[in-house]
Amino acid sequence: MIPMMASVTAAVENPVTPTQRKPHASKVIESENIFQLMQQQALPELIHSMTQEKNIKRLLITSTAGDIHDHRANPYLVKAYEETNEEGVRCKLLQSMGQFHDPALFTWFVRRLKNPSIGIQCFAIWALGELRTPKAVEPLRRKLRSSNRNVQMTAIDALGKTGKNAELASELGTFLADDDAQIRFIVAQALRGTAGVDMAPEIMKRLMDEPSLDVQEALAGTLGHVGGMIAAEHFIELLKNPPTQATEHWAELGLAAGDADIVIPVLTPLLNSGDLSVRLSATRLLKGFGKNVEP
pLDDT digit string, tens, across residues 140-151: 999 999 999 999
| Least confident segment among 84-93, 165-174, 213-222 | 84-93
- What does the DSSP 8-state code read for residue 217? H
What is the mean predicted confidence (pLDDT) over 284-294? 86
Q: How far is CA 151 from CA 117, 124, 128, 174, 266, in A?
A: 11, 10, 13, 17, 42
Distance (Å, rounded) from C-alpha 236 to C-alpha 108? 48
What is the mean predicted confidence (pLDDT) over 77-104? 92
231 versus 26: the higher-pLDDT residue is: 231
pLDDT at 63 over 60: no
Q: Which of 70-84, 162-176, 242-256 has the highest mean predicted lDDT (pLDDT)? A: 162-176
Rounded to 5°, angle at Cα 100 from 95 and 102: 115
Instruction: Domain ranges for the chain, please list them.
Output: 1-15+24-74, 175-295
Q: Identify the CA nearest to 268 among candidates 252, 282, 287.
A: 282
pLDDT at 229 over 60: yes
pLDDT at 62: 52
Distance (Å, rounded) from C-alpha 204 to C-alpha 247? 12
Which fold is adopted by the domain 175-295?
Answer: Leucine-rich Repeat Variant (1.25.10)
pLDDT at 273 over 70: yes
Distance (Å, rounded) from C-alpha 77 to C-alpha 160? 26
Share of the chain above pLDDT 70, in %: 75
Using DSSP's 3-state secondary structure scheme, residue 264 falls into: helix
Contacts of 206 (CB under 8 A, 6+ apart): 173, 176, 219
Largest CA distance in the chain: 75
What pTM was estimated for this model as a whole? 0.75
What is the pLDDT of the chain when averaged over all its residues?
81
pLDDT at 291: 79
Displacement of CA 54 from its chain's centroid (Å): 36
123 versus 292: the higher-pLDDT residue is: 123
18 versus 162: the higher-pLDDT residue is: 162
CA dihedral of 225, 226, 227, 231, whole degrees rounded to 10: -20
pLDDT digit string, tens, across residues 108-126: 999 999 999 999 999 999 9
Contact present, 203 and 230 (Cβ < 8 Å): no
| Least confident segment among 38-47, 64-73, 167-176, 273-282 | 38-47
Distance (Å, rounded) from C-alpha 247 to C-alpha 244? 5
What is the mean predicted confidence (pLDDT) over 63-79? 69
